[in-house]
Amino acid sequence: MNHLSGKGKRIIICLLFASFFVACTPQSVEIGERIIIKAGGSIITLPHTYVIGVDGTGEISVRFPRGLGDNPEWSPDGLWVAYDTQYIAGGLYKSQIYIMQSDGSHRIKVTNNSWGSFHPDWSPDRSHIAYEASGKIYLMEVKCILLDEKCNLTPILLASGEFPDWSPDGKFILYINLEQSNEIVRRKVFIINVDGTEAPKNITPLNSTYCHQAKWSPDGSRIVVGCDGNIYIMDSDGLNAIRVGEGGSPLWSPDGSQITFISERDDDLGKPLDFEGSTTSNALYIMNADGTNIIRLSLRSNENVLWYAWMP
Mean pLDDT confidence for 217-231: 97
Local structure of 235: helix, strand or coil: strand
Q: What beta strand segments (E) does 90-209 contain? A: 92-101, 108-109, 117-122, 128-133, 136-141, 156-160, 162-166, 172-181, 184-193, 201-202
Cα–chain center distance at 195: 25
What is the pLDDT, as a whole number, of residue 277? 63
Mean pLDDT of 63-87: 90
All residues at 6 or more sequence positions from 166 whose CB lies less than 8 Å from its CB, including other chains: 121, 122, 123, 124, 130, 172, 173, 194, 216
Q: What is the mean pLDDT of residues 262-281?
A: 87
How many angstroms separate the Cα of 217 from the Cα of each of 200, 214, 225, 266, 289?
Answer: 20, 10, 11, 27, 10
Confidence of residue 276 (pLDDT cuts 50, 70, 90): low
| CATH value of 6-311 in 2.120.10.30, 3.40.50.720, 2.60.40.60, 2.40.30.10 | 2.120.10.30
* CA 307 from centroid of its chain's CA atoms: 6
Using the 8-state DSSP alphabet, how is residue 22 labeled?
H
Residue 4, pLDDT above cutoff 80:
no
Lowest mean pLDDT among 57-66, 115-124, 164-173, 201-210: 57-66
Pick the more confident residue, 4 or 237.
237
User: Are 304 and 281 within 8 A, CB to CB?
Assistant: yes
Average pLDDT over residues 32-43: 84
Categorize the per-residue pLDDT at 235 as very low, low, confident or very high, splitting at 50, 70 and 90: very high
Helix or strand (DSSP H, E) at 15 = helix 6-24
Residue 278: the pLDDT is 72
What value does the CA radius of gyration of the chain take, rounded to a whole number of Å? 22
Sequence ranges of the domains in the chain: 6-311
Cα 38 from chain centre: 10
Q: In this structure, what are the phi and psi dihedrals at residue 25, rounded to the nearest 5 degrees? A: -90, 140
